[in-house]
């Protein structure tokens, strides 16, 4: 049953394509101008001959042969250069990796030192404030001690007179 449907489809396809022309088809161009890349000839195709006049004939086979001869003599130089370049690149990459690692470590140390410095500065400000408060309290206590000493001296003088 499946073979019959496949054959029927093929027959229908062939019937549809029976009147069709194969080969070149013309493409309608809206407004051809002088600056167009290709010229349309009167037959319905495109005229590419204007490009043949402008192009120079290039012998690509000769160019390839020359490049093969010249590159074969330079292969050892290119290989040695590329090997030395690869070695130099590897050493530079190692140096870059080590320097970038050192840089990251120093950045981390810098951040931690800044945090530590900020903490120490905050404690220093706190200690300076406490120092001022304690000096004031010490001066008050010294004054109280002197006043009490004066009172004791007065009492001892009164006791001796009595």
In a domain, 87, yes or no: yes
In a domain, 22, yes or no: no
In contact, 26 and 44? CB cutoff 8 Å: yes
Nearest to 63 by CA among 52, 55, 71: 71
6-41: per-residue pLDDT in tens? 777 777 776 666 666 655 666 666 665 554 555 555
In a domain, 80, yes or no: yes
In contact, 48 and 38? CB cutoff 8 Å: yes
44-99: per-residue pLDDT in tens? 566 666 655 555 556 666 666 666 555 555 555 556 678 888 889 999 999 999 99
In a domain, 20, yes or no: no
In a domain, 1, yes or no: no
In a domain, 3, yes or no: no
In a domain, 112, yes or no: yes
Enumerate residues 6+ apart whose C-beta is below 8 A from 26. Answer: 44, 45
Domain around 71? 37-161
In a domain, 8, yes or no: no
Domain count of the fold of the chain: 1
């Amino acid at each position: 049953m499946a073979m019959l449907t496949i054959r029927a489809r093929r027959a229908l396809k062939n019937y549809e394509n029976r009147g069709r022309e194969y080969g070149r088809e013309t493409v309608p161009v809206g407004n051809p101008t002088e600056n167009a890349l290709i010229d349309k000839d009167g037959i319905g195709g495109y005229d590419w001959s204007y490009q043949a006049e402008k192009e120079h004939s290039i012998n690509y086979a000769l160019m390839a042969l020359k490049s093969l001869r010249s590159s074969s003599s330079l292969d050892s130089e290119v290989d040695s250069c590329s090997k030395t370049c690869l070695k130099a690149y590897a050493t530079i990459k190692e140096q870059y990796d080590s320097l970038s690692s050192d840089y990251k470590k120093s950045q981390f140390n810098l951040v931690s030192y800044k945090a530590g410095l900020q903490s120490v500065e905050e404690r220093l400000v706190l200690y300076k404030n406490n120092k001022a408060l304690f000096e004031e309290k010490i001066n008050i206590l010294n004054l109280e001690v002197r006043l009490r000493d004066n009172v004791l001296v007065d009492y001892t003088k009164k006791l001796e007179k009595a």
